[in-house]
Amino acid sequence: MTQNIKSFEEAVEFHGHSCPGLAYGYKAAEYALKELFSGRSQDEELVAIVENDACGIDAIQFLTGCTIGKGNLIFSDYAKQVYTFIKRDSSDAVRLVQKDKTSMGDFDAKTGELGDKVFSNTATDDEKKEFFERRNIVMKKILEMPGDELYFLKHIKPEIPQKARLFKSHKCAKCGESVAESRARVENGQIVCIPCFEEYSRGW
């Protein structure tokens, strides 16, 4: 099939800025789409399971069409640079694990030191300039590398997630706001939303 994969520049416009994290996410999505012979998901044809909430996720959303709103972007809060992409029609799926950045020489000690200063607002103007120059070199290197040099990829037999569902809404007995039945809680015989729910725990 002919694939029309959106450009990194378009992903930057969507995300708001360019950075190595966005580049990594872009390459993960590009690699997965090519491996699965998939186009951008208009509905829920493709599912992405992401295991972090960093910059790269925006590139994955933008390239693959997997989004929270459509129900085909699933966030697992594991703080891992790992991504699973599933094609519903063929039950084919790939799991990508980012390779160790230090083994590729992406970030040296000097860049790390400069980054610490920049993000703690203690860097001089010259240090900021040097840091962003170094970071841009890293980003360009990532974008030029083939996917298999950035990620370990394997085809897996997926457990295909359910498609997004619509649920009945109920009014929270405490705040009066509507909450979907699937996420409501029962407290003293009344339906309440999660923020209003007072969880009972004895320490386990």
17 phi and psi angles, rounded to 5 deg: -160, 165
Co-location of 107 and 36 in the same domain: yes
168 phi and psi angles, rounded to 5 deg: -65, 145
Query: What is the residue whose two structure tokens read 């120059």?
Result: 133
Q: Is 39 a domain residue?
A: yes
Q: Which long-range contacts (CB under 8 A, 24 or more apart) does 100-105 make?
A: 104/149, 104/150
For position 107, what pLDDT does the model report? 59
Q: Is 1 a domain residue?
A: no
Q: Is 3 a domain residue?
A: no
Q: In angstroms, what CA-CA distances link 41 with 7, 74, 128?
A: 16, 14, 39
Q: Is 136 a domain residue?
A: yes
Co-location of 129 and 190 in the same domain: no
Contact 103, 54 (CB under 8 A): no
Q: For 28-70, how does the pLDDT look when each residue is reduced to its tens digit (9 = 90+)? A: 999 999 999 988 999 999 999 999 999 999 999 999 999 999 9
Domain span at 112: 8-156
Q: For 107-160, how does the pLDDT look when each residue is reduced to its tens digit (9 = 90+)? A: 567 888 898 999 999 999 999 999 999 999 989 999 999 999 999 999 999 888
Co-location of 73 and 144 in the same domain: yes
